[in-house]
Structure 1
Amino acid sequence: MVWPHSFTDLRDAARRRLPRFLFDYVDGGSFDQVALARNAAAVRAVALRQRVLNDVSEADLSTDLFGHRLDMPLMLAPVGMGGMLRRRGEIQAARAAQANGVPFVMSTVALCSIDEVMNATPAPFWFQLYVAKDRGFVMDLLTRAKGAGCPVLFMTVDLPVPGPRWRDQRSGLSGPPGLTGQWRRWTQILSHPHWALDVGLRGKPHTLGNLVPIMKGNVRLNDFLSWSGRNFDPSVTWKDLEFIRSHWDGPLVLKGIMDPEDARRAADIGADGLVVSNHGGRQLDATTGTAEALPAIAAAVGERLTVLADGGVRNGLDILRMLALGAKGVMIGRPWAFALAAGGEEAVSRMLAQMATELRAGLALTGCGRARDAGPHLLAGPPAWPR
């Protein structure tokens, strides 16, 4: 078998294997997908200084985040419904991440439950929280995460309401129920027999494991986006973070910060970190790319808490670009999701090893011996951000 290598290779392989409604769910953004495209373009606009004749024979990719040593400054970001991309996919991704010395951040809306992933993986994973209207359910979810040994909590703050995702409606994942949508999905499933056997038949149950207590039964996956709009809490404010803090005594990271003023408030309330993120271009389609927002946020709060970033990162050199802009660590979503769809745990592991090789090369060619030393001094000049 010829293994894919680049992000484009993995994306193409995932497109061939997945029914369209699942591929579009991972690949797409909100509205006209302007923010989605801007994320990648903003990262590519970052030019680095090429430096020579430095001893980089002992390149060190490792870093420390929230009291944990990582083999490189990278995390697998939470991806909803990851278990629909490959059989019990969250378990496969978590194992690949742990084998490569980086954290897997499990989504609240994973197919596998916290307990299932805990029982199938050798080390604790990190956890991402959506705040539901039912605070009793939120408390129970946090208790289960702590019981599973999850050391770090990521609270997503940029989804008070779901951003309209027209690709999901066109593909049949969401939208009005009826025979037309069901026929569209079944046609796609039957035209992808490998996925149908691996996930459709052998990958059951097709429920969102962590949400079973609050869903009151088997909510169909194509109903999930409308369900989330009814059950995720749009009234959440900064005051609600006190409630989360009172039930979580480990590191707390706010995911979805795009403005320096919000970053300062996150630092003021005692968050341990934040993720500069626009939800992968899946929420506010008129926002800037995350790489554009990162430098001002890092300058505002980088000495007070740990600044992470995601959005548009496609390879190890992009990781270095984000570090040069001020991030201490980088999260990836679509790359691992496409790798999982393309080849399961082994493909995710190969992708992570490839990114490590690319990051090591980038460090060497910029004359930087250690990933933890990367910063603005590596920039060739102000990035030419997309207009």
Structure 2
Amino acid sequence: MVDRQFPRPAELLELMQFKKPELDLKKRRLESALTIEDLRRIARRRTPKAAFDYTEGAAEGELSLARARQAFQDVEFHPSILKDVSTVDTSCQIWGGPSALPFGIAPTGFTRLMQTEGETAGAGAAGAAGIPFTLSTLGTTSIEGVKAANPHGRNWFQLYVMRQKEISYGLVERAAAAGFDTLFFTVDTPVAGARLRDKRNGFSIPPQLTLGTILNAIPRPWWWYDFLTTPKLEFASLSATGGTVGDLLNAAMDPSIDYDDLAEIRALWPGKLVIKGVQTLEDAKTLTDHGVDGIVLSNHGGRQLDRAPIPFHLLPTVAREVGHHTEIAVDTGIMNGADIIAAYALGAKFTLIGRAYLYGLMAGGREGVDRTIHILTDQLVRTMKLLQVRTLDELTPAHVTQLTRLHPLRHHAAEPTDA
């Protein structure tokens, strides 16, 4: 038998503790996001289709992006036990300087399209969090503008070598003069990938207003207001506009770049030189022999060659072969702090987030980027504590198993047949 009694009023009052309502709509919206996927859903609601698809989309069938994200999900962790993890240290050293966290913000093009604060929001949030920010050659904020937004933090610059090489070399000199400490030389873009969403949406730079884009923007007046009342949306470092991003890339990029260009850039740049877009072990070895300061294993977020190698799958082999000679970072597919921890355990010394940062930007501007960093930090700290490691350097390949869905088909020589 269960003894029953009428509840006392005081006991009822203890149960009826109502949370104070949050009147700030942006703060309430962002606080409701517990994962990067939550931020993505908010971003999709708040951003016109063409702009959201430019961020979200990848090349052709978008297989490279899907496989990269799946690779991080197909991870099995192996935790230790009975270790004091009341506090953990998430800081690391990368390319000659510190970072409070094992990730930074990747270079993204045309960022003010997603939300008008653009790179200023990203650089400011990165500086506040003590992590690096990377400005793209195709950025919509100038080198000097990013420096002003992040005056005391680490700023990096991503370089495309264009047909008019004097333009590229001028950007290198400006970034050095502004105190940027690391240069990313991107090598996976001799021509533009086929980004079909942009073509289907009729997306161009500068944005062209059509009946479809106007109707899609009507339910999103905040984006429309920002677009019409802020400075013209254009590339900060390039004067050429008109056409899709692919058209602009094909017109500007130089498909003939080679190791001579690498040597030229090395001679121009006084800081750390990192090669972004490495996708084979052989190229990683060659670049290491050329004395680069680092490499980024990347398939450009799946936006260039579809069916490209999965950077996270490539990581253990490259780390084992060249990790003692150069510092390796990885990007593409990171949507959780646990992804970052898995990459670090398998030999990456750093990771870069692109879409995850942009989802936060579209969801809430600078505060949204802060929320992205907070979510990833919370996830990676929790993962470290559950693995029972106190520092990033305690992570080893023994903590991670990569579960694979895709296996290379072994090709055998044809067997001889009887005549």
Is TM > 0.5 for Structure 1 vs Structure 2? yes
1:154 aligned onto 2:174? no
Structure-2 residue corresponding to 1:234: 255
> In structure 2, what is the equivalent of residue 122 of structure 1?
151
1:208-223 aligned within 5 A: 208-212=235-239, 215=240, 219-220=241-242, 222-223=243-244
* Equivalent in 329, 346, 359 of residue 308 of structure 1: 329
Q: Distance in 2 between matches of 1:386 and 1:100?
A: 37
1:5 aligns with 2:34: yes
Matched residues in 2 for 1:127 and 1:202: separation? 28
User: Is the 1:38–1:288 Cα contact (8 Å) retained in structure 2?
Assistant: no
SS of 1:117's partner is: helix
Verify: 1:139 aligned to 2:159, yes or no: no
Structure-to-structure mapping, 1:174-253, within 5 angstroms: 174=204, 182-198=210-226, 200-212=227-239, 215=240, 219-220=241-242, 222-253=243-274
Q: Please list, as runs of the form range in 1=range in 2, the aligned pairs for 1:249-268 lying within 5 A after superposition.
A: 249-268=270-289
* 1:101 partnered with 2:130: yes
- The alpha-carbon deviation at position 183 of structure 1 amounts to 3.3
Deviation at 1:278, TM superposition (A): 0.3
Judge conservation of contact 2:311–2:332 (CA < 8 Å) in 1.
yes
- 1:172 aligns with one of 193, 202, 205: 202
CA–CA separation in structure 1 for the residues paired with 2:155 and 2:76:
34
Greater Cα shift, 333-342 or 292-301: 292-301
User: Residue 110 of structure 2 contacts residue 234 of structure 2 at CA under 8 Å; is this kept in 1?
Assistant: no
Partner in structure 1 of residue 396 of structure 2: 375
8 A contact 1:328–1:372 mirrored in 2? no
Which structure: larger Rg? 2
Q: State whether structure 2 residue 45 is matched by structure 1 residue 16.
A: yes
Deviations 1:268-314 (A, max 9, x none): 11110011100011111112321111111111210110000011111
Query: Residues 236-287 of structure 1: CA distance to partner in whole angstroms, max 9, x if unpaired?
Result: 1122100111110210111111100000111111110011100011111112
Are 1:283 and 2:304 counterparts? yes
SS of equivalent residue, structure 1 residue 2: helix
Give the structure-2-normalised TM-score.
0.86
* Structure-2 residue corresponding to 1:68: 97
Comparing 181-190 with 370-379, which one deviates more in the overlay? 181-190
Kindly state the Cα deviation for residue 87 of structure 1 after the two structures are TM-superposed.
Answer: 1.6
Where 2:329 maps in the other structure, the secondary structure is strand
Structure 1 residue 84 displacement after superposition: 1.4
> What is the one-letter code of the residue matched to 1:162?
A
The gaps in structure 1 that reach 5 residues or longer are: none
**Would the alpha carbon gap of residues 382 and 89 (structure 1) be closer, same or farther in structure 2, given more than 3 Å must change?**
closer
Please report how far the alpha carbon of residue 52 of structure 1 lies from its aligned counterpart in structure 2 after TM superposition.
Answer: 1.8
Structure 2 CA distance for aligned equivalents of residues 333 and 35 of structure 1: 15
1:50 aligns with 2:105: no
Q: Which amino acid aligns with 1:196?
A: W
SS at match of 2:93: strand
- CA positional deviation for 1:190: 3.4
1:119 Cα shift?
Answer: 2.5
Moved more, 185-194 or 248-257: 185-194
Letter of the aligned partner of 1:231 in structure 2?
A
Counterpart-to-counterpart distance in 2, 1:135 and 1:369: 47
- CA distance, structure 2, for counterparts of residue 178 and residue 260 of structure 1: 40
Structure 1's 203 and 386: CA in aligned 2 closer, same or farther, altered over 3 A? farther
1:211 aligns to what SS in structure 2? coil
Deviation, 1:133, is 0.9
Relative to structure 1, the CA distance from residue 239 to residue 373 in structure 2 (aligned partners, 3 Å threshold; closer, same or farther) is: farther
- Mapped to 1, the partners of 2:334 and 2:218 lie a distance apart of 33
Give the distance between the partners of 2:176 and 2:325, measured in 1 at CA.
25
2:20 aligns with none
Aligned to 2:414: none
Higher mean displacement: 165-174 or 103-112: 165-174
The equivalent of 1:84 in structure 2 is 113
Task: Report which stretch shifted further, 281-290 or 144-153.
Answer: 281-290
Structure-2 separation of matches of 1:142 and 1:353: 32
Q: 2:346 aligns with which of 321, 325, 329?
A: 325
Which residue of 378, 387, 394 corresponds with 1:366? 387
Contact 2:39 2:360 in 1 (8 A): yes
By how many angstroms is 1:382 displaced?
4.6
Q: Report the Cα distance in structure 2 between the residues aligned to 1:71 and 1:234, rounded to whole angstroms.
A: 37
Q: Secondary structure at the match of 2:29?
A: coil
Please tell me the residue identity of whatever aligns with 1:42.
A
Q: Cα–Cα, structure 1 residues 178 and 248, in superposed 2: closer, same or farther, change >3 Å? A: closer
The CA distance in 2 between the partners of 1:224 and 1:311, in whole Å, is 20
- The Cα RMSD (Å) is 1.8
Residue type matched to 1:337 in 2?
L
Secondary structure of the corresponding residue to residue 210 of structure 1: coil
* In structure 2, C-alpha distance between the alignment counterparts of 1:79 and 1:235, rounded to whole Å: 23
* Identity among equivalent pairs (%): 36
